Amino acid sequence: FRENGFEVVFASPLGGVAPVDQGSVENFKNDEICKAFLADEATMNAVSTSTHRLQDLEVGEFAGIYFAGGHGPMYDMPGNVPVAEFTARMYEAGKAVGAVCHGPVGLVDVRLSNGDPLVKGKNVTAFTNAEEDAVGLTDAMPFPLETRLRDLGANFSCAPEKWGAHVAFTDRLVTGQNPASATPSAEKFVEIIKSL
């Protein structure tokens, strides 16, 4: 996002410290983009000590909201009314909404002013049930994300093979399936913001 001239503001449901998943750090320690992110002292300080509380931010100050993945959001986002309401206001204000991997869990409680789920009738992807089974964490999750998105009426799609890069989008909503989808989903998100 910064390479395209965007200022990035890190926010979390409670603000303050946002723990970094050490398993993800280990799994992606050789990824050049991840290494650069982790080596950026200002970024890591913003994430590890001083995220903004999402509900304290103003919709009008942002072009979009993007939910990062990892398993943590599966516990932090469901039932979080301020996150759902902020995201609905962003979308209804004509802003971009994006998410990757488990990040689309931030969309499951988002209802538009007409009462419909944000994802209803939209092309969406996320970490699949098969991928969750493959990493052995299905039973550790509060619910299967793919199933929940389908139940909400999303047009769910995924790569033909587990771990393949896949991006799904409908107008200003863009989602990426898994870690391999992080860069292409971010690129699509940037494209959408630039078109607004």
Catalytic (active site) residue 191: no
Q: What's the CA gap between 59 and 61, in Å, rounded?
A: 5
Catalytic (active site) residue 61: no
Task: Exactly one of 71, 102, 131, 158 is catalytic; name it.
Answer: 102
CB atoms within 10 A of CB 54: 20
Catalytic (active site) residue 58: no
Residue 141, C-beta contacts closer than 8 angstroms, at least 6 positions apart: 71, 74, 132
| Residue 56 vs residues 16, 17, 67, 82, 173: alpha-carbon distances, Å | 12, 16, 17, 10, 23
Task: Exactly one of 71, 101, 146, 166 is catalytic; name it.
Answer: 101
Task: Exactly one of 34, 85, 92, 132 is catalytic; name it.
Answer: 132
Q: What's the CA gap between 124 and 185, in Å, rounded?
A: 11
Catalytic residues: 101-102, 132
